Amino acid sequence: MPLSDTAIKKAKPADKPIKLTDGDGLYLLLTPTGSRWWRWDYRRPTTSKRNTLSLGTYPDTGLAEARVKRDEARKLLASGADPGIRRKSEKFAGAQRAASSFEVVARAWLKTQQRTLEPVTLTKAERMLELWAFPWIGKMPVTEVKPMDVLQVLKRVETRGAHETAHRLKQRIAQIYRYAIVHGLAEINPASEMRGALLPIVPVPRAAITDATRVGELLRAIDGFTGTFVTASALKLAPLFFSRPGELRAAEWAEFDLDGKEPTWTIPASRRKLKRAQKENPQTPAHVVPLASQALAVIRELSALTGRSRYLFPGVRNHKVPMSSMTINAALRRMGFDRDTMTGHGFRAMASTLLNELGWNPDAIERQLSHVERDKVRAAYNRAGYLAERRKMMQAWADHLDTLKAETGTVVPIRKKSK
């Protein structure tokens, strides 16, 4: 007699499993724990041996659905196919598809970048993929992602006005596919077909204070900063070093020579925007930042607090990592300088503008800013020829900042002394 939902619901578990038969090999197995499993018994077409196929659990799979699954399996059996083997093949194929999905391949690529990308850059790349790529193409087999799929992903980002992020995401997807092609996981790179598909990036200069009077106001605000001592120290050193914000916040004590005749901060090429150059030429030099007496005083005072750490400016919650990339900008906002007025990167533009106005050698200024020199011969000369001049410039710059900070009225620029 065929089963009914009423009969299934009324059935009570016993000490041993109970079979509630429906027909044509279909039955519901009621276990002592109360679980209800749909089963279908059949004989394999090649060996005639009895086999059992699971069709789901009740009530997730209802009686009508279980019968449909049974009938589909019977049709396969009638055609000479083994439903059990077919299911295993489908599961294997599904597992293979999942193992070569875009997300799986992307995460494998991310692992290969751990020695290449800075931790913060790697984290940003992973987060960007998680937000903008994985939800739409993450589960797709890497071989089935088409240029149109990639374009739709990129357009979602672009329509939010994040043009730079869209271009960066395109770059990451292209890198992932180059990895996939090298490892035999894909044959084409759909992101390479996106040339000209996105709106061009319009560079927006980072906000910076370059007016001498306003610089004095900024320096006085920094001296009055009431945040943590570590952040206050970073703020004081930012205008004195005018290095890139990432280089400053990740500065390590091992990179500093404080006791030599000419105190310096030596930033390895591996921590700067020279990783590609370093790969091409392992002899790519480090960047030397001469330490003015004012900078040396701040660093020595800071060493009493963080000198035993790896970093000059360790993170608040985790001292094994440097301070957050947002700390300096957040401190500037706290002091009343909004993002359209001053940024951490703005200290570079501030120094470049004023040092040029003061008459210092533009080549020495560019070298101290660590701008890449395209002419390799000229670059070698710059490294050798301007260090002594840069030492004088950095001390004169620190003295000039003290003057600007002390002035509350009209500022009289201090020109570079003639040789």
Helix axes 387-406, 229-241, angle to 10 degrees: 120
| 371 is annotated as an active-site residue | yes
Could you confirm whether 348 is annotated as catalytic?
A: yes
The catalytic position among 67, 70, 345, 367 is: 345
The candidate with the shortest Cα–Cα distance to 102, out of 188, 177, 181, is 177
231 DSSP assignment = H
User: Which listed residue (339, 371, 376, 415) is catalytic?
Assistant: 371
pLDDT grade for 373, boundaries at 50, 70 and 90: low
Q: How confident is the model at residue 419 (pLDDT cuts 50, 70, 90)?
A: very low
Q: pLDDT tens-digit profile of 6-29?
A: 898 888 999 999 988 888 889 999
CA 298 to chain centre: 32
Q: 90-98: long-range contacts at Cβ-Cβ below 8 A with a sequence spacing of 24 or more?
A: 97/141, 98/139
Choosing from 74, 275, 383, 416, the catalytic residue is 275
What is the C-alpha to C-alpha distance for residues 180 and 348, in angstroms, rounded to an integer? 39
Catalytic annotation present for 345: yes
Please report, as a single letter, which amino acid is at residue 97.
Answer: R
Q: Count of CB atoms within 10 A of residue 5's CB?
A: 12
Provide φ and ψ at 76, rounded to 5°.
Answer: -60, -45
pLDDT one-digit tens code per residue, 27-83? 999 999 899 999 989 988 877 788 888 888 998 999 999 999 999 988 888 888 888
Taken in order of first residue, the domains within the chain and their CATH numbers are: 5-97 (3.30.160.390), 102-194 (1.10.150.130), 212-406 (1.10.443.10)
pTM, entire model: 0.61
pLDDT, average across residues 153-173: 92
Of 84, 103, 117, 390, which Cα lies nearest the Cα of 264?
Answer: 390
Structure tokens at 130: 């998680």
pLDDT reported for residue 267: 92
Name the catalytic one among 348, 390, 391, 405.
348
Q: What percent of the chain has pLDDT over 70?
A: 87
**Which residue out of 91, 183, 279, 381 is catalytically annotated?**
381
Q: Is 271 a catalytic residue?
A: no
Quote the Cα angle for 387-390-391, to 5°: 90
Among candidate residues 69, 244, 272, 287, the one labeled active-site is 244
> CA 42, CA 80: separation in Å to the nearest integer?
13
Does the pLDDT at position 198 exceed 60?
Answer: yes
pLDDT tens digit sequence for 395-410:
999 999 999 999 865 4
Residue 283: what pLDDT? 65
Burial group, residue 207, by CB count within 10 angstroms (0-12, 13-18, 19+): middle
pLDDT at residue 418, as a whole number: 47
* Residue 356: pLDDT band with limits 50, 70, 90: very high
- Which of 206-210, 221-225, 261-265, 383-387 shows the lowest per-residue confidence on average (mean pLDDT)? 383-387
290, β-bridge pairs: 264
Q: Is 244 a catalytic residue?
A: yes
The pLDDT of residue 415 is 47
